[in-house]
Amino acid sequence: AIGEHIDRAKQSAQAAVDAVSGDLVRISREIHSHPELAMNERHAYAQLVPFLAAQGFAMQEHACGMETAFRGEWGHGPVTIGICAEYDALPEIGHACGHNLIATVGVGAAAALTRALDPGDARIVILGTPAEELYGGKITMIRAGGFAGVDVAMMAHSAPADIVDAPMFGVAHVDVEYRGKAVHASVFPEQGINALDALVTAYQTVAQLRQHIRRDARIHGIVTHGGDAANIVPGLAKGTFYVRALKPWYLEQLKERVRHCFEAGALATGCELTMDWHEEAEYAPMLNNGPMCEAYRRNGEALGKMFIDIKDLSTGSSDMGNVSQIVPSIHPNFSVGATAFTHSPQFTAAAITDAAHAGMLQTAKALAMTAIDIALEPGLIDRIKSDFAARGRGDTL
């Protein structure tokens, strides 16, 4: 009887997504045609909040001290299910990460659950999370209590293919600045202290370090300021570097080694060094919850998704990783029906096609169906929590 009840709820969820599909596609097109950078997502916000309010969500606007964040709640059941929506764009290339689709998957799944569940079955929390591309809006929301009381969290990310449990790196970014002494390079070269030399030395040392790091890690960086004139010894040089790893302990180890590279540049040249590691905005690795992934795979396959299993590490980072470290979470990828990679102009074009919208609607259904399993299937939430406790413990491999 429980199985039949769950099946009926899932049928209702699918019908509910179909019923609002016109709204979801319209909102996706609106967000895509008005790309907004991190913390400025006002147009996207103005599309999403009224839609959710109309679906019966009690909306907390400008949540967690951010103008473009929101938090909606519906229901009062024993399990609290959080669904995240992202909607910021990238500079110059717009929605090349498909956040117009991520947002509509999230609000579509949330809307479906208000039709498929009774309010006493679960509490559904929809979180509008700004600035994923730049500042990590979810990190700010975690600190402000936006995820307090949430038992599980989910979102789905647009991609070239359907993937249940794609790995994602933790990432630390550091801004480095060297200060030397600027003098005329021809008249008084012996009096100069070359800040660019310090940065180039550090850059080369980082490049050499790259030969000897684990396969599940990455380091990359650029020179952002290298001087003002060729005949002046640069008194100031600046760079930005990213350090990524799949294991939190290895990320810390790698940061220390990269720090030594920067210190070597300063020591070799006599420059002053300042480093800003932006630790308040460090993205954690994604911890995909096993039982949640299994439920999502089952529901996706029932809807006709063809999942590919990837074992390589052609991947980036997300602040959803930070969420996954505090509550059991999933972050599956869904296909936009094109082979373009995210952060390319080709993906911007792919993110607004009929195929992308079909994938968005299918994925909203799959997330909603997974939430129904969590709310109604006996024992599933306990398995989810014990998997989370086991994975989070002493991750030393």
Average pLDDT over residues 67-75: 99
Alpha carbon 140 to chain centroid, angstroms: 13
Whether 320 and 133 have beta carbons less than 8 Å apart is answered as: no
Q: Which residue reads 């940065």 in tokens?
A: 199
Tokens 């909607």 belong to which residue?
Answer: 87
> Is 310's pLDDT higher than 90?
no
Q: What is the model's pLDDT at position 392?
A: 66
Of residues 288, 291, 278, 363, the one with CA closest to residue 320: 288
* CATH 3.30.70.360 placement within the chain: 170-280
| C-alpha to C-alpha distance for 116 and 75, rounded to whole angstroms | 12
> What's the rounded mean pLDDT across residues 321-348?
96
Residue 391: its pLDDT value, please? 83
Q: What is the mean pLDDT of residues 356-381?
A: 99
Name the pTM for this structure: 0.93
Task: Looking at the structure, give the CATH architecture of the domain made up of residues 170-280.
Answer: 2-Layer Sandwich (3.30)
Contact between 255 and 282 under an 8 Å Cβ cutoff? The reply is no
In the prediction, which pLDDT does 396 show?
45
Q: Are 10 and 109 in contact (CB under 8 A)?
A: no
Mean pLDDT of the region 106-131? 99
Q: Express each pLDDT in 149-199 by its tens digit.
A: 999 999 999 999 999 999 999 999 999 999 999 999 999 999 999 999 999
CATH no. of 2-168+283-391: 3.40.630.10
pLDDT at site 393: 55
Alpha helices in the chain (DSSP H): 2-19, 21-33, 42-54, 99-116, 137-143, 195-209, 248-269, 290-302, 320-326, 345-350, 354-376, 380-391
pLDDT at 61 over 70: yes
Residues of the chain with CATH 3.40.630.10: 2-168+283-391
Place of tokens 């319209």: 26
Report the alpha-carbon distance of residue 74 to residue 55 in Å, rounded. 9
Q: Quick one: pLDDT band at residue 394, thresholds 50, 70, 90? A: very low
The percent of residues above 70 in pLDDT, for the chain, comes to: 98
What is the Cα–Cα distance from 384 to 153, expressed in whole angstroms?
11
